């Protein structure tokens, strides 16, 4: 007897209760120390990479369902994207997303940090094409039927 593969479906969330959903994600962009300093001093040919990355992340979060095939379009209550410089040669991108909805906003937070990091890459690629983007991950989420998740602070991918 031949088995048929599972169909690709968008999950029906119509019966789930509307509740407050939040998610926080991070990503890291690694570059030459001089590249990071030029970002911080706003000395890039394309302009302010920090402001551009924030805007790119917010716009991407709002369009997640257009990018990730099975995500539900959500009316987001808020999206905040921030960048920090915790160590030389690294920009840490963080996104916090909130919605009052029937499904979570983890994907919106992950897409936001990914696109924000890509925006920085785009603005710096002519001076530092060896940059890398990594550690794109969900740090925490709250709300929903499965409850809260907070990434374990321990070593490795944890969680």
pLDDT digits (tens, 9 = 90+) for 77-106: 999 999 999 899 999 999 999 999 999 999
* Alpha-carbon span 106 to 112, nearest angstrom: 10
For 93-146, write each residue's pLDDT tens digit. 999 999 999 999 999 999 999 999 999 999 999 999 999 999 999 999 999 888
Q: What is the DSSP letter of 97?
A: E
Class at the top of the CATH hierarchy for domain 19-144: alpha beta
Q: Is 63 exposed, middle or buried (0-12, 13-18, 19+ CB in 10 A)?
A: middle
Contacts with 49 (C-beta within 8 Å, 6 or more apart), sequence order: 39, 42, 119, 120, 123, 124
- Enzyme catalytic residues: 122
- Paired with 139 in beta bridges are none
* Per-domain residue ranges of the chain: 19-144
- The pTM for the full model equals 0.91
């Amino acid at each position: 007897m031949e088995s048929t593969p599972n169909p690709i479906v968008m999950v029906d969330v119509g019966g789930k209760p509307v509740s407050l959903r939040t998610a926080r994600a991070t990503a890291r962009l690694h570059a030459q120390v001089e590249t990071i300093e030029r970002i911080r001093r706003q000395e890039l040919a394309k302009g302010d990479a920090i402001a551009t990355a924030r805007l790119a992340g917010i716009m991407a979060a709002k369009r997640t369902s257009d990018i990730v095939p099975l995500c539900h379009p959500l009316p987001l209550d808020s999206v905040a994207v921030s960048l920090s410089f915790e160590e030389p040669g690294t920009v840490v991108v963080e996104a916090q997303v909130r919605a009052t909805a029937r499904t979570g906003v983890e994907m919106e937070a992950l897409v936001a940090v990914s696109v924000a990091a890509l925006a920085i890459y785009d603005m710096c690629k002519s001076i530092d094409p060896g940059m890398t983007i990594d550690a794109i991950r969900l740090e925490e989420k709250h709300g929903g039927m499965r409850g809260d998740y907070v990434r374990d602070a321990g070593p490795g991918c944890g969680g």
